[in-house]
Structure 1
Amino acid sequence: MTIHSNPAAGLDGVAAAVTALSHVDGEKGELIVAGMRIGELAQNTDFEGLTARVWAAAMAREVDAAEARRWLGQARVAAFQRLPAILPATAGLPMIDAFRVAVAAIAPIDGLASEAAIVGAMPVFAAALVRQAEGKAPVAPDPALGHAADLLRMMRGEEAGVEEAKALDAYLVTVADHGMNASTFAARVVASTQANLFMAVTAGYCALTGPLHGGAPEPVLDMLDAIATQDRIASWIDEALARGERLMGFGHRIYKVRDPRADVLKRAVERLGGRGTDLGFAAEVEAYARRALEVAKPDRRLDTNVEFYTAILLDALKIPRRAFTPIFAVGRTAGWTAHALEQQRTGRLLRPSSIYTGAMPG
């Protein structure tokens, strides 16, 4: 038998689903979610509106944004009531693992669809785990607030400012869906078996925790901390590239130009003013890194990706670095649930073939 090399390593270029949810054009640097460019969505739609939009696209029927807001408020209240059973099982675990335990424990809620129960639980668990790590009791949700504002309030124990809530809301919208990424594909594979949405989203979160997918924002801040001062930017970056190290926050598997989400989040950071990371310093690091990468790797187009300004935005909102991946999941769960619903409505069992390279029996 003739053995052929894999024609699509990493499934690059292989269409695994037909979807109405999102489209990524890596050459143009464009992300379209349910018919709108991501910049338009972040400017004109809150997280509840985005969630209603992707659920509607997934189920091919109207979903009212006000109804979605009410459902998510109810789901946050129900999820909070389950914390006494969940938090003891997470004690002593790293945040990323503790959140996995919590996600796996999300349960159905009478009178609410599974997708609402799941999306509503995420900020409650993220906030409670941050407070548990600080030795503080969880704060009950306020179902009248928006998802982003309530997440910050539950995490801090006090109301967030209007601009802070808007900034986090823009982040949640921006990261809610992004084509057939690894975690979304994992969720769709599980959903294709007709397993329920709770199982599919748990698989999605597990995929997100890998450093090649959702684990990059925290190291961006570590890099900025290591550079420390303006006069060290050039030398630090040049030495890192000479050692063959990756510059965190630059380059993307799909985008061959600037990640469109980076500009959305940069604008959100700018609206927050001078909180957290020095934005002027970060912009200088970004500018020099882009020039240095163009010289060091002329055969590859490595531009700013979403993780660079994600790190700066979440730092400005005083969200602990150890919570960055769970906060990413709070937003991405809207996309995971939508893709799982769409897969179950329109797709088949996902069962790709493989190319065998092992020995054949004599």
Structure 2
Amino acid sequence: MYQPGLKGVVAVETELSNIDGEEGILTYRGMAIHDIVQNYSFEEAAFYLLHGTFPSEKELQGFQSHLNKYRYMPPYLQQIIDQLPIEQEMMDVLRTAISAVTFYQDDTHDTAIQLIAMMPTIIACRFRHSQNKSFIVPDNNLQHVENFMYMLTENVDSTHVKMLEAYLIMTMEHGLNASTFAARVTKSTQSDIISAITSAIGTMKGPLHGGAPSGVIDLLNEIETKDNIYETIHSKLKNKERIMGFGHRVYKTVDPRAEALKQIILGLENRPEWIELALQTEIATIDMLKKYKPNQQLYTNVEYYAAAIMKSLEIDPNLFTAIFSSSRIVGWCAHAIEQESNNTIFRPAAKYIGK
């Protein structure tokens, strides 16, 4: 039976994540995303997805040591990044740089750690170069997310790090999405994991998949202050405009990732001004949506709070999709490893409709 885009077709069996769109549930290996974000670090969550168990103290130290070791780019890779045209988009640079990595090991797990560790360095290196600023060498005294913030901004603010870490954990993995499927298809040919991740990055670049949450930022910029919330949202609904950041193709109720992000944010002291604006806008918008669209329940999705966080952190919008990729690479690698453990090459049929 022909299914355009393979929608609804079960192509793999996986132990990595489960999405229940009707109930608004997302789990990593059986654990609710909310519990992981609340109780574990980026390193612990990544280890859990890659290995199936949370690390012991000794295992965590070893994992962190490997990440620290592989943060550093070989000189030839930095030269490639610096020599690419300045107008080259960040995702193009990321795809080219990852494909140029040649020091991978025979062990897929070890190569995965190398790629996860190096991607933030590649992003930061290119961003600093595009800003005519000197490259900041990784600091091995800092954890993964702290070091990423440091390389981008020369600053490590604990509140900012906590917000970014929560976002990165909850976007590590999300089922058989387009980029993950691309990674598994490539790995199913018994190609190497670097080729699989390169395929995934090329897919993530597409605006239908990894597009930046710029629409939400535009909305918050337009509202600007809490005094303008009602008037702005009322006007958009009256004109039948789409309210960006509300509704999701999969989740028919609250997006669990948005809710988990929100809970982290509510627990912060000295919340940034943009976060406060986002919280108040959400309350007002949901209230008005009930009046304008009583038969359609719409809730905030993960992009809503992702945009608010990125805006609060003053992250350049050109980095949004790349930062998303620096998280999702954990899921890509975990899927590549799972594909390798029980492999069947993907070979769907095509229905001929020509002459």
Please indicate, yes or no, whether the TM-score normalized by the shorter chain is above 0.5: yes
**Greater Cα offset, 279-288 or 137-146:** 279-288
**Judging changes above 3 Å, is the alpha-carbon distance between structure 1 residues 191 and 109 closer, same or farther for their aligned structure 2 residues?**
closer
Q: Which amino acid is the alignment partner of residue 340 of structure 2?
A: Q
Q: How does 1:246-261 map to 2 (within 5 A)?
A: 246-261=242-257
Any stretches of 5+ residues in structure 1 without a counterpart? none
Q: What is aligned with 2:35?
A: 40
Let me know the Cα RMSD of the aligned residues: 2.6
Q: What is aligned with 1:138?
A: 135
**Greater Cα offset, 284-293 or 39-48:** 284-293
Q: CA offset at residue 261 of structure 1?
A: 0.7
The answer on whether the counterparts of 1:100 and 1:205 sit within 8 Å (CA) in structure 2 is: yes
Q: What is aligned with 1:156?
A: 153
CA distance in 2, matches of 1:23, 1:56: 17
**Which TM-score applies when normalising by structure 1?**
0.87
The answer on whether the counterparts of 2:19 and 2:25 sit within 8 Å (CA) in structure 1 is: yes
The sequence identity of aligned pairs, in percent, is 35
Residue 302, structure 1, aligned to residue 298, structure 2 = yes
CA distance in 1, matches of 2:68, 2:239: 49
The answer on whether the counterparts of 1:197 and 1:340 sit within 8 Å (CA) in structure 2 is: yes
**Greater Cα offset, 234-243 or 170-179:** 234-243
**Judging changes above 3 Å, is the alpha-carbon distance between structure 1 residues 14 and 110 closer, same or farther for their aligned structure 2 residues?**
closer
SS in 2 for 1:77: coil
CA distance in 2, matches of 1:267, 1:51: 21
**Judging changes above 3 Å, is the alpha-carbon distance between structure 1 residues 271 and 314 closer, same or farther for their aligned structure 2 residues?**
farther
Q: Deviations over 1:28-67 (max 9, x none)?
A: 1111102211111111211111111111139xxxx93332
Q: Which amino acid is the alignment partner of residue 112 of structure 2?
A: E
Q: CA offset at residue 330 of structure 1?
A: 0.8
**Judging changes above 3 Å, is the alpha-carbon distance between structure 1 residues 348 and 54 closer, same or farther for their aligned structure 2 residues?**
same
**Judging changes above 3 Å, is the alpha-carbon distance between structure 1 residues 295 and 90 closer, same or farther for their aligned structure 2 residues?**
farther
Residue 147, structure 1, aligned to residue 176, structure 2 = no
CA distance in 1, matches of 2:318, 2:268: 22
Q: Which amino acid is the alignment partner of residue 145 of structure 1?
A: L
Q: What is aligned with 2:120?
A: 123
Q: What is aligned with 2:81?
A: 86
SS in 2 for 1:23: strand
Q: CA offset at residue 208 of structure 1?
A: 1.7
Q: How does 1:276-315 map to 2 (within 5 A)?
A: 276-298=272-294, 300-315=296-311
Q: Which amino acid is the alignment partner of residue 121 of structure 1?
A: M
CA distance in 2, matches of 1:116, 1:80: 19
Q: What is aligned with 2:60?
A: 65
CA distance in 2, matches of 1:255, 1:74: 39
Q: How does 1:189-338 map to 2 (within 5 A)?
A: 189-241=185-237, 244-274=240-270, 276-298=272-294, 300-338=296-334
Q: What is aligned with 2:50?
A: 55
Q: 2:9 aligns with which of 8, 14, 17?
A: 14
Q: Which amino acid is the alignment partner of residue 335 of structure 1?
A: G
Q: Deviations over 1:86-115 (max 9, x none)?
A: 222152323333333333333324697211
Aligned length: 349
Q: CA offset at residue 27 of structure 1?
A: 0.9
**Judging changes above 3 Å, is the alpha-carbon distance between structure 1 residues 206 and 67 closer, same or farther for their aligned structure 2 residues?**
same
**Judging changes above 3 Å, is the alpha-carbon distance between structure 1 residues 269 and 135 closer, same or farther for their aligned structure 2 residues?**
farther
Q: CA offset at residue 128 of structure 1?
A: 1.4
**Greater Cα offset, 164-173 or 117-126:** 164-173
**Judging changes above 3 Å, is the alpha-carbon distance between structure 1 residues 80 and 328 closer, same or farther for their aligned structure 2 residues?**
farther
**Judging changes above 3 Å, is the alpha-carbon distance between structure 1 residues 111 and 193 closer, same or farther for their aligned structure 2 residues?**
closer
**Judging changes above 3 Å, is the alpha-carbon distance between structure 1 residues 291 and 192 closer, same or farther for their aligned structure 2 residues?**
farther
**Greater Cα offset, 138-147 or 324-333:** 138-147
Q: 2:102 aligns with which of 102, 107, 119?
A: 107
